[in-house]
Amino acid sequence: MLRWIVFIVIFGILDLYAFQAFKTVARNNWLQILYWAVSILVIGNFVFYYFGFNRSDGFSHAHAYAFGFFITILIPKMILAISMIGEDIFRVPLAIYRYFTEGNSAKGNYFASRRQFLSQIALGIAAIPFASILYGIYRGKYNYKVLKYALYFEDLPQAFDGYKLTQISDIHSGSFDNMDKVRYAVDLINQQESDVILFTGDIVNNKAEELVPYKDVFNKLKAKDGMYSVLGNHDYGDYLRWDSEEAKSQNLEDLKALQNEIGFDVLLNESRYIEKGGEKIAIVGVENWGAGGFKKAGDLKKASSGIKKDDFKILMSHDPSHWEKEVIKDDYHYHLTLSGHTHGMQFGIEIPGWFKWSPVKWRYKYWAGIYKEMGQYINVNRGFGYLAFPGRVGIWPEITVIELKKGVKQA
């Protein structure tokens, strides 16, 4: 209870400061009433859904939107409040000076009026994240992007020169709220006509039943050399309170079965060969292995026990921290690793080919796109779905298409 009282007091102070900027520009009483009505409605809805909230009880669409709309008003109001506090850094000392120098001649009003142009600038700046977040909730979460790469390997078997794979990751089917948009994305995947489809984990938020409504959508996925998948940290059901360990175990078995029905070969610390023209490459799949407290069920040695050291290898591992901590140092040399997990935090700024930034870079060294270390590549997919925040801002849902090329890339 105490933390909620502190939270409401802090947000109230923030809101009062933000209102100073708003009322300087919007002098109409109805607009000012609307400001407070929206603020009270959003913060009240947030408190309603999160007071006493426990993640282990599950996370609904209502929780997601309560959080999303709270963030929508929080960030702009922080910008407004900071601008007003910045102005007060000058107004307060001036008011104190006038109090001691002007006395009664100031008629008790020692504070200079707020400058309208500063409020206008602050409102203009605040409008950018406000509009961006609303767009991210309304459209951004389904703004699918197909990102294409050509990667060169001198030891790629000749028969696989030009071989195409499509990677998707982090479907999080329990978060979806628009079946038609998901169908569109599945069609977009099939249009790439890749040889194989590789899914790198987190097909649900927590429960296998989340996937059931979308099973007939995802079983439209097709690739001539098959589809392979691995488990992500959310697929194990570790974040829920279960009635029993048996129920939790059954949920995982149900999830594997559903993926099989869709057409995925779920690799549980296993490997498979894909053969073409008398040559072959290895697809290796580990269970989730993540640094920083995440589940470490992945066993790289076990997964690779059925292949040879000199095979060309594609590794599927949900969490990119696995690549950083174990994979790139392994003497088996995994040519290409495919990961996801980070979602690019679903928030950031990207100018393709020029610039990318997200706060998640402070948590993960490899957080989005292609990286190369010690002659090995990793692609960190930004995710197909979304989690918690019901949108994406600047970091769009991704379908990755990678073409394997034999030789050395020409400058």
CATH number at 185 reads: 3.60.21.10
pLDDT tens, residue by residue, 117-139 = 788 888 999 999 999 999 999 99
Show the CA angle centred on residue 169, arms to residues 168 and 171, nearest 5°: 105
Do residues 266 and 289 both lie within one domain?
A: yes
Structural domain includes residue 411: no
* 398 closest CA partner among 379, 380, 378, 384: 384
Do residues 118 and 164 both lie within one domain?
A: no
Do residues 179 and 238 both lie within one domain?
A: yes
Q: What is the mean pLDDT of residues 343-349?
A: 97
Structural domain includes residue 132: yes
The domain of 222 spans: 144-406
Q: Write out the two tokens for 40.
A: 């009270």
Structural domain includes residue 329: yes
Do residues 274 and 331 both lie within one domain?
A: yes
Do residues 224 and 315 both lie within one domain?
A: yes
Structure confidence at residue 411 as a pLDDT band (50, 70, 90): low
Do residues 302 and 170 both lie within one domain?
A: yes
Do residues 308 and 394 both lie within one domain?
A: yes
Structure confidence at residue 95 as a pLDDT band (50, 70, 90): low
Structural domain includes residue 355: yes
Do residues 149 and 253 both lie within one domain?
A: yes
- B/e letters for 376-399, b = 16+ CB within 10 Å, e = fewer, are bbbbbbbbbbbbebbbbbbbbbbb
Reduced to 3 states, what is the DSSP secondary structure of residue 234? helix
Show the CA angle centred on residue 220, arms to residues 218 and 223, nearest 5°: 105
Do residues 395 and 247 both lie within one domain?
A: yes
Q: What is the mean pLDDT of residues 216-243?
A: 97
358 versus 94: the higher-pLDDT residue is 358
| Strand duo 270-276 + 227-229: pairing | unpaired
122 versus 304: the higher-pLDDT residue is 304
* Partner residues linked to 316 by β-bridges: 285, 338
Cα(144)–Cα(165) distance, integer angstroms: 17
pLDDT of residue 17: 85
Q: Integer distance in angstroms from the first to the last C-alpha of the chain?
A: 62
- In angstroms and rounded to an integer, the radius of gyration of the C-alpha atoms of the chain is 26
CA atoms within 13 A of residue 65's CA, in its CB half-sphere: 8
Polymer length of the chain: 411
Among 120, 138, 156, residue at a domain's last position? 138
* Partner residues linked to 282 by β-bridges: 273, 313
- Given a contact cutoff of 8 angstroms between Cβ atoms, the answer to whether 68 and 184 are in contact is no
Structure confidence at residue 58 as a pLDDT band (50, 70, 90): confident
Reduced to 3 states, what is the DSSP secondary structure of residue 145? strand
Structural domain includes residue 399: yes
Do residues 208 and 129 both lie within one domain?
A: no
Residue-averaged pLDDT of the chain = 92
* Ranges of H-type helices in 51-155: 61-102, 116-138
Residue 200 has pLDDT above 70, yes or no: yes
| Strand duo 398-406 + 163-168: pairing | antiparallel
Do residues 124 and 156 both lie within one domain?
A: no
Do residues 120 and 184 both lie within one domain?
A: no
Total number of domains in the chain: 2
Token pair 């996937």 in the structure block, residue: 211
Structural domain includes residue 195: yes
Among 123, 138, 153, residue at a domain's last position? 138
Among 91, 123, 138, residue at a domain's last position? 138
Structural domain includes residue 221: yes
pLDDT of residue 108: 55
Structural domain includes residue 102: yes
- Given a contact cutoff of 8 angstroms between Cβ atoms, the answer to whether 67 and 389 are in contact is yes
Sign of CA dihedral 231, 237, 239, 245: negative
